[in-house]
Structure 1
Amino acid sequence: MKRYRIRRLSGALLALTTAGGLLLTGCGAGDSGDASRADRAEKADGFPAPAPPAPDSGEVSGEQHEDGTDREFAPEPDYLSTFALDVDTASYGYARRTLAEGARPHPSTIRPEEFVNSFRQDYERPDGNGFSVTVDGARTSAEDWSLVRVGLATRPAEDEGERPPAALTFVLDVSGSMSEPGRLDLAKESLAVMTDRLRDDDSVALVTFSDEAETVLPMTRLGGNRGRIHGAVSGLEVQQSTNLGAGVETGYATAVEGLREGATNRVVLVSDALANTGDTDADTILERIDGARREHGVTLFGVGVGSEYGDELMERLADRGDGHTTYVSTAEEAREVFCEELPRHVDLTARDAKAQVAFDPQTVSRFRLIGYENREVADEDFRDDRVDGGEVGPGHTVTALYAVRTRPGADGHLATATVRWLDPATRAPHEESGRVETTALDDSVRGASARFQVTVVAAYFADALRREDTRHTPLPGAPGMRELAEHADELARRTEDEEVRQLATAIDQAQGITY
């Protein structure tokens, strides 16, 4: 995925007609004195600057979309937040393993959105492709600060027999570092189980890499060939160095050679992502992935393993490959990923999905998106379908949590969230919106729904873990680690959810560990 930073809007608002409707956006940096002063007033804490006095009309600009609904966009200086959707969870999985081993994860590996998106949500789901949009929130203990949750959900995952066939190219790291228990052995066991779970009309190929890359098995239909596939998997052995570049190049070449029309063609990279030989330049490796993505539509699913793990490289590979990442450290997690999640990830319900949240300057003085720093998209590119977004499949939810400071005594419309995506088959654009009023905010986080509270606890936990990085200041209303652990334990009992219990355990482990 290409990176796009949010650019602060300034100058006169223009009405730009697009295929999806009318988008109000700013242009001409430096044209507006008020906007320039707001830019210079931005605080070092990462929150957008307070707005200049609101327009006398007291209304937010609204434009009529072709489906008859209103699309509301906030005026200057910048009350828009735009980002590409993300369903990665690797950061949270790796943090849990690191804490279980008695160490704190490095702040650079903490991505709050991946903590938040690791938990089941209670959003209403749409009937067809695309998304439902849920917006809710609760006030925090910090004066005038609330947490606002934007929830996006796709339709439920279909029965296994209803999805399109899969053409999966597994690119498996067999370098020396994969000899550690819980790496290659875990991958082999998982692939063997998955081979028995996939359908007869699915296909798999197998590429390995150490010093060099080798296609162990070309694209092969499962029907009548399971024994051959099992033999290829069981014969895998650890070798030497990690030539990740060669593995990626050969993997994509194998995927393109075995490309199947009408199937979901995907590369599944299983590695600790610790490249140490051959082409180790991330940008060069990424360029190879980008070409296969654009020309052939091959997507990437990255599965990270190992106590030492190249988190940043794996994430960048998945981003550029229109895919996502997860992390496994136990046989149970691996079975869930390969036997449950992967079949769901085969299908796509949305391509290049982006979200834009418009905050109302009459009620909001400043806001902060928690996480998604490397998913930011320029506001004016929201409806530019040439700009990459995220790929999302059925059964997924995407959650974005905002810290929002409301104006004292403000009442009324707070924010409108819009998600835009392309149909996977026709690439036709679609949009869906949801909005929230100040009166809909719960009086406190503890008074909100259990799933909202789990979201908040996960975000606060990620925030605490990366606090050693001085660029990050505490979120409004952030509790101490002990209080956070007690809250998580209470939620685990209330929800009877094993994943929430694991979160409570991780927070408890973090209490006694220092850098």
Structure 2
Amino acid sequence: MKWHGTRRLSGALLALTAASGLLLTGCSGGSDDSGGRSATDSSYDGGNGSAPLPAPDGPTGGEREGEQESRDIAPEPDYLSTFALDVDTASYGYARRTLADGRLPDPSTVRPEEFVNSFRQDYERPDGDGFSVTIDGARTEQDDWSLVRVGLATRSARDPGERPPAALTFVIDISGSMAEPGRLDLAKKSLGVMTDRLRDDDSVAVVTFSDEAETVLPMTRLGGNRDEIHDAVDSLEPTDSTNLGAGVETGYETAVEGLREGATNRVVLVSDALANTGDTDADTILERISEHRREHGITLFGVGVGSDYGDALMERLADKGDGHTVYVSDEEEGRKVFCDQLPRNIELTARDAKAQVAFDPRTVAEFALVGYDNRRVADDDFRDDRVDGGEVGPGHTVTALYAVRTKSGADGHLATATVRWLDPGSRSPHEESGDLETADLDDSVWSAGRGLAVTATAAYFADALRSSDHRHSGLPGALGLGELADRAGDLAERTEDEDVRGLAEAIRTADRLD
């Protein structure tokens, strides 16, 4: 299928480029095995009185949010793509759960960036806070199209004893729908194990909500009080309806009452997000707690559960609550989220992080960002630090994938990727950049290194699930689901990667269900 700049792809198979948006997550260190080039020589410390770096090379012509939402390919003279970083992975987890239940996921719940960011990436990591930038790519079998990967990585997570203490307010849904196996019971088991793994100087509060919200346990230090916390968690039982708005509001009030200076203060929302009582609109809910978010820097971590799941509401809450979402479908995933990811990545290394990719008009004819539909930022706002970006912690990677058509016979500079963020403490701005040349493109996506091949496979899969027939992706070089599953299986064998093996099985299941 050939792409054209005037073609509108049904179902928004690809998002805007000039104003597209970008959050989690592979948590592995080491050097990238894909041959990508990493550059950190364009560092800018806005707090030292230096003049800001110029925008990455290329004409500006940025658009404001919401303009030309049907455009898939950025026409001349627009060669910039700007987005807020995001590390959500809930969409992929929920899709796998839905497929395991014998159903194809609703296309509206499929967000390609969350599929892509669900897999480990071996990007080079920076020594200190901030990001490294890796940009690489490979050619597809379709005309002059390539897939270009922009990879951003934070430093590795510290040992638990080295991070700041945490003050976590758990807001737990105990509505009637949470009685289904794999919901409240899973949350209780996960929270119980996590309680034993947190440090003595960490603090935990517990808020529950059904038709009303209640603070079951105020902010309590774990040292000497673990039994009390276990009792509070064990006592949770499902009841009545879902007033999610009341739960979030009470959760933030409890977090503010127990606010600890020098600690990471976070609200952890555990719910199926099937709100049916009180405020059910994310904007209304967040408006009521916006003061707490702005003044106290409390971030939101959303944990979705259940075969029926309010994906859109949870994702919106996390995006506007300066946080991210994951989806948990079984006890093993629950342990990973509560016992590994959350304790290890409690602190933040970057606030209001944004990325801007400048494609070189001398070599690039057209391009499109895959996914990130709701994370777009106007190009002119890239260096406006009043404009909200994404919050990212240690041990995270963020990946953005672009479809890029190079000009016939073009040779030379292809793109520059720049990430800008604010220091969590001082709020001083910093930047890093990386470059890609046409000569650095691998000959084939499928013979490229593990990271790029997995990224392409996940993106092709997500794009196919969003298409009208659930079978064929509109991305250049796409394969049918059956052949894509075989490619993923071969990749899993080559890399001995169980996560990729799970991806291959999910693709095979989707192929059978279609």
Paired with 1:27 and 1:438, the residues of 2 have a C-alpha distance of 24
Partners in 2 of 1:136 and 1:202 — Cα distance?
40
State the shift of 1:28 in Å: 10
Match of 2:10 in 1: none
Aligned-pair distance for 1:278? 1.3
**For residue 22 of structure 1, what is the aligned residue in structure 2?**
54
- The residue aligned with 2:384 is 384
Q: Which whole-Å CA distance do the structure 2 matches of 1:44 and 1:209 have between them?
A: 39
Shift of 1:311: 0.4
User: Which residue of the partner structure matches residue 350 of structure 2?
Assistant: 350
The yes-or-no answer on 1:48 pairing with 2:77 is: no
Q: CA deviation at 1:468?
A: 2.0
Pick closer, same or farther for the CA change 1:28–1:341 going to 2, 3 Å.
Answer: closer
Aligned to 2:173: 173
- 1:380-430 CA-partner distances (Å, limit 9, x unpaired): 000000011111111110000000000000000000000000011111100
| Conservation of the 8 A alpha-carbon contact between 2:154 and 2:393 | yes
- Tell me by how many angstroms 1:496 deviates: 1.1
Deviation at 1:509, TM superposition (A): 0.3
Partner amino acid for 2:275? Answer: A
Match of 2:374 in 1: 374
* Partner of residue 61, structure 1: none
**Is residue 481 from structure 1 mapped to residue 507 from structure 2 by the alignment?**
no
Contact 2:348 2:392 survives alignment (8 Å): yes
8 Å contact kept, 2:273–2:314 = yes
CA distance in 2, matches of 1:207, 1:453: 43
Change in Cα spacing, 1:222 to 1:19, as seen in structure 2 (3 Å) is: farther
SS at match of 1:384: coil
Whole-Å Cα distance in 2 between the matches of residues 91 and 345 of structure 1? 20
| Counterpart in the other structure of 2:100 | 100
Contact in 2 for aligned 1:417/1:435 (Cα 8 Å): yes
> How many angstroms does 1:43 deviate by?
12
Query: Contact (CA 8 Å) 1:80, 1:357: kept in 2 or not?
Result: yes
Secondary structure of 1:87's counterpart equals coil
1:115-126 correspondence runs (5 A): 115-126=115-126
Deviations 1:477-500 (A, max 9, x none): 111111100000001111111111
Change (3 A) 1:110 1:19: farther
Matches within 5 A, 1:495-506: 495-506=495-506
What whole-Å deviation, never above 9, does each CA across 1:437-477 have from its counterpart, x for those lacking one? 0000001112210221011000000000001299x970111
Q: Write the distance in 1 (CA, Å) between the matches of 2:428 and 2:436.
A: 28
Offset from partner CA, 1:27-64 (integer Å, 9 cap, x none): 699xxxxxxxxx9xx99771122x3xxxxxxxxxxxxx
Which residue type is aligned with residue 73 of structure 2? Answer: F
- Give the letter aligned to residue 46 of structure 1: D
Shift of 1:296: 0.9
Q: For 1:282-301, list aligned pairs within 5 A.
A: 282-301=282-301
Give the counterpart letter for 1:412 in structure 2: G
Q: Which amino acid aligns with 1:512?
A: R
Which residue matches 1:280? 280
Does the aligned pair in 2 maintain the 1:86–1:398 contact within 8 Å?
yes
Distance 1:27 1:370, change over 3 A: closer
Task: Give the 3 Å change call, closer, same or farther, for CA 28–94 of structure 1 in structure 2.
Answer: closer
User: Could you tell me how far apart the structure 1 residues matched to 2:313 and 2:69 are?
Assistant: 31
What RMSD, in angstroms, separates the aligned Cα atoms of the two structures? 2.1
Alignment correspondent of 1:467: 467
Seq. identity, %: 75
8 Å CA contact 1:6–1:378 kept in 2: the answer is: no
Paired residue for 1:82? 82
Q: Name the aligned partner's letter for residue 209 of structure 1.
A: F
Contact 1:20–1:431 (CA<8 Å) still a contact in 2? Answer: no
Q: Structure 1 residues 214, 466: closer, same or farther in 2, change over 3 A?
A: same
- Please say if residues 289 and 321 of structure 1, whose CA atoms lie closer than 8 Å, have aligned partners that are also in contact: no
Q: Separation in 2 of the partners of 1:265 and 1:20?
A: 31
Measure, in 2, the Cα distance between the counterparts of 1:216 and 1:476: 53
User: 1:127 & 1:260 partners in 2: Cα distance?
Assistant: 28
Corresponding residue of 1:269: 269
CA offset at residue 281 of structure 1?
2.6
Query: SS in structure 2 opposite 1:373?
Result: coil
Q: Distance in 2 between matches of 1:275 and 1:501?
A: 35
Once residues 113 and 297 of structure 2 are traced to their aligned partners in structure 1, the CA distance between those partners, rounded to angstroms, is: 26
Paired residues of 2:61 and 2:78 also in contact (CA < 8 A): no
Structure 1 pair 103/238, CA: closer, same or farther in 2 (3 Å)? Answer: same
**Aligned-pair distance for 1:21?**
2.6
One-letter amino acid matched to 1:291: E
- Provide the rounded CA distance (Å) in 2 between the counterparts of 1:394 and 1:184: 29
- Contact persistence 1:271–1:305 (CA under 8 A): yes
SS at 1:242 equivalent: coil
Mark the runs of 5 or more structure 2 residues left unpaired by the alignment: 1-15, 20-48
Give the C-alpha shift of residue 279 in structure 1. 1.6
SS of the aligned residue for 1:387 comes to: coil
**1:87-236 map, 5 Å:** 87-236=87-236
Alignment of 1:301-450 (within 5 A): 301-450=301-450
Going from structure 1 to structure 2, the CA distance change for 1:18 and 1:107 (only over 3 Å counts) comes to farther
Alignment-derived partner of residue 33 in structure 1? none
Displacement of 1:6 after TM fit? 7.2
Partner of 1:513: 513
Shift of 1:248: 0.5
Aligned counterparts of 1:196 and 1:342: Cα–Cα separation in 2 = 13
Distance 2:487 2:504 in 1: 8
SS at 2:129 equivalent? coil
Q: Which letter does structure 2 place at the counterpart of 1:153?
A: A
C-alpha distance in 2 between matches for 1:372 and 1:163: 31
1:483 aligns to what SS in structure 2? helix
AA in 2 matched with 1:47: I
Q: Is the 8 A contact 1:107 1:469 kept in 2?
A: no
Question: Which residue in the other structure is 1:55 paired with?
Answer: none
CA distance in 2, matches of 1:231, 1:125: 41
Rounded Cα–Cα distance in structure 2 between residues aligned with 1:432 and 1:142: 32
In the TM superposition, structure 1's runs of 4+ consecutive aligned residues that sit over 4 Å from their partners are 5-8, 24-29, 42-45
- In structure 2, do the counterparts of structure 1 residues 26 and 117 end up closer, same or farther at CA, with 3 Å as the change threshold? closer
Query: Once the 2 structures are TM-superposed, how far is the Cα of residue 22 of structure 1 from its aligned partner?
Result: 2.8
Instruction: Name the CA distance, whole Å, in 1 between partners of 2:465 and 2:351.
Output: 32
Amino acid at match of 2:434: G
**Count of matched residue pairs:** 465
Cα separation, 2, equivalents of 1:272 and 1:243: 12
Partner of 2:12: none
**Amino acid in structure 2 at the alignment position of 1:196:** D
Pairwise CA distance, 1:344: 2.3
Structure 2 length normalisation: TM-score? 0.88
Normalized against structure 1, the TM-score is what? Answer: 0.87
* Structure with greater Cα Rg: 1
The 2-side partners of 1:19 and 1:343 are apart by 38
